[in-house]
Amino acid sequence: MPLSTQAGNDAPRLSARSSLSFAKVLFSVIVVTQALPRASGQGSSIPEVQNGEIRTMPSGEPDRIQQATVRNAPPTTTKTFATPDTCLLPPLNTTVVPIASKVQLQIPSNARKEYQRACTALKDKKGTDAEKHLQAAVDDYPKYSAAWVTLGQLLVSRQRMQEGRAACSEAVTADSNYVPAYLCMADIAARAHDWGEALSLSNRALEIDPSHNAVAYEYNAAANLNLHNLADAEKSGLRAAELDKNHHEPRVYFVLAQIYEAKHDPTNEAVQLREYLKYADNPDDVAMVKQYLSELETQGQK
């Protein structure tokens, strides 16, 4: 699901400079656009932007699974990632679930074994095997929220959107306080450009845990941006950057850059693009954002 700003009569007007420059870059979000992601270290191909769509996030490093359980090392904090035995796909693998619910503590051993087999299959880029094991895990324990979300993410990555949303919805039914489930559905809503739904779902995730999950604020910022609620978008984007102390999600800086573009604030726009470049590692995206930043700075000198 791309997080994108659709051009429209009531949309914020981008300058000729920015429209031309942004059109050179594919801005997307989240994890995978193919059945399985490419291996770590490979560059991403960047297709042409179509229908005047301006996407919100560079597509590079989140467009692959690097050993799904540990794409990034946990931050130095007393909190832990979702649980140590989950393999949610990026960026949900960085979400925090400080307290495991009673329902999730009762997962039977056979369901856990199937889930871990799925994690191994994901690591080995065997999507069909992973799907079979995830389905077996939720068949054995229908309240297995992590398995439902991982299954939902995998199905979405294979372009099976309705099935993916149904799986993530099952995770909410099983545990109404499981934050990754709401973010999984927010991802799908944003892919469909249903920004009202994406906003509602990210708001719910933040109601459950307003203090730890940068990804929830990132979705919230992107949704508010596309709904032209720029003050709220800026607030959420800055909060996401503040929480992401180890810079697992540099895309948030690009969201902030586009927010400042919409606010006609090129100075802060450039600041956020420079922050993105500090932490992004995909060479294609880095080169394109550097080019855009150079054009932005050239315009500022005129």
pLDDT of res. 83: 55
pLDDT of res. 178: 93
pLDDT of res. 133: 98
Q: Each residue of 55-86: pLDDT tens digit? A: 444 543 333 222 222 222 223 233 334 455 78
Average of per-residue pLDDT values in the chain: 77
Write down the residue that tokens 């990026």 correspond to: 90
Map residue 37 onto helix, strand or coil: coil
The H-assigned helical ranges of the chain are: 16-22, 102-105, 109-123, 127-140, 145-157, 161-174, 179-191, 195-208, 214-226, 230-243, 251-262, 266-279, 283-301
State how far the Cα of 59 lies from the Cα of 23, in Å rounded to an integer: 14
State how far the Cα of 179 lies from the Cα of 184, in Å rounded to an integer: 9
What is the CA angle 82-161-192, rounded to 5?
95
Q: Which class for 269: exposed (0-12), middle (13-18), buried (19 or more C-beta within 10 A)?
A: buried
Query: Domain limits at 165?
Result: 4-301
Label residue 99 by pLDDT band (50, 70, 90).
Answer: low
- Structural contact between residues 199 and 189, judged by C-beta atoms closer than 8 angstroms: no
Does pLDDT of 14 surpass 90? no
- Structural contact between residues 219 and 202, judged by C-beta atoms closer than 8 angstroms: yes
- Give pTM, 2 decimals: 0.75
State how far the Cα of 249 lies from the Cα of 221, in Å rounded to an integer: 13
What tokens were used for 83?
A: 């649980």
What is the CA angle 62-111-184, rounded to 5?
30
Q: Each residue of 127-154: pLDDT tens digit? A: 999 999 999 999 999 999 999 999 999 9
More confident residue, 59 or 291: 291
More confident residue, 194 or 81: 194
State how far the Cα of 199 lies from the Cα of 194, in Å rounded to an integer: 9
pLDDT of res. 151: 98
What tokens were used for 73?
A: 């090392």
State how far the Cα of 175 lies from the Cα of 95, in Å rounded to an integer: 16
pLDDT of res. 241: 96
Label residue 209 by pLDDT band (50, 70, 90).
Answer: very high
- Structural contact between residues 130 and 118, judged by C-beta atoms closer than 8 angstroms: yes
48-51: long-range contacts at Cβ-Cβ below 8 A with a sequence spacing of 24 or more? 49/22, 49/23, 49/25
- Structural contact between residues 288 and 20, judged by C-beta atoms closer than 8 angstroms: no
Map residue 38 onto helix, strand or coil: strand
Domain of 72, CATH number, reads: 1.25.40.10
DSSP character for 36?
A: S
Task: Point out the least confidently predicted range of 27-36, 170-179, 231-240.
Answer: 27-36
pLDDT of res. 84: 57
Map residue 94 onto helix, strand or coil: helix
DSSP character for 74?
A: P
Does pLDDT of 6 surpass 50? no
Tally of domains within the chain: 1
